[in-house]
Amino acid sequence: MQLSARNQIRGKIKTITLGSIMAEVQVELPDGQQIVSAITRNSVETLQLHENDPVIVIIKSTEVMLGKQA
């Protein structure tokens, strides 16, 4: 399936922390920078996500802010 989301970035899962409703997944990008995703616990279980799994980080462009050092 092709997605309208403009941001689809390759990474690898470093850690998964499960809560009752939500879960926090830390993903490492090829250049070592980290991206954290907060998704539902149900999604983690449905996708059977595990540490070291290759994943695609997906972000709609309207959700991306920019910062500029003064």
Binding site for a copy of itself (CB under 8 A): 1-10, 17-25, 27, 29-31, 33-40, 42-44, 46-49, 53-70
Give the three-state DSSP class for 23.
Answer: strand
Least distance (Å) from a copy of itself to the CB of residue 25?
A: 6
Least distance (Å) from a copy of itself to the CB of residue 45?
A: 11
Least distance (Å) from a copy of itself to the CB of residue 10?
A: 7
C-alpha separations of 28 from 44, 51, 60, 68 in Å: 17, 11, 19, 23
Tokens for 8?
């689809």
